[in-house]
Amino acid sequence: MSDKLTPHFEASSDDNSTSTIKITNKELEANKEMEKYGINRVLISIYHYKTFRYTNLEDAISQAKRDEN
C-alpha cells in the first residue's frame, strides 16, 4: 500500500464554500518516488508528558504515575 497524494486542505471563511486540496510539485514528485520504490508513509502517535515525548502510551502513563509519588 502506498500513498499517492499528500493533500493540503484549505477552508474558506465563507460557511457556504467548499474546501480545496492543493498538492505542490515537490510533494507530487516525492509521492511518485515513494510509489516507485515501494516506500510507505506510516503515521504514529506521539504522547507528550511535561517535556518528554513517548511513542508508547503506557510509558507516558508510567512516568506520570512515578512523578505522582
State pLDDT tens for residues 11-65. 555 556 667 778 899 999 999 999 999 999 999 999 999 999 999 999 999 999 9
**Set of cell numbers at residue 56:** 508508547
Give a yes or no: residue 19 inside a domain: yes
Structural domain containing residue 63: 41-69
Give a yes or no: residue 3 inside a domain: no
Give a yes or no: residue 61 inside a domain: yes
Please name which of 57, 41, 40 lies closest in space to residue 49, comparing C-alpha atoms. Answer: 57
Give a yes or no: residue 2 inside a domain: no
* Domain total of the chain: 2
Rounded Cα–Cα distance for residues 40 and 6 (Å): 12
Does the pTM surpass 0.75? The reply is: no
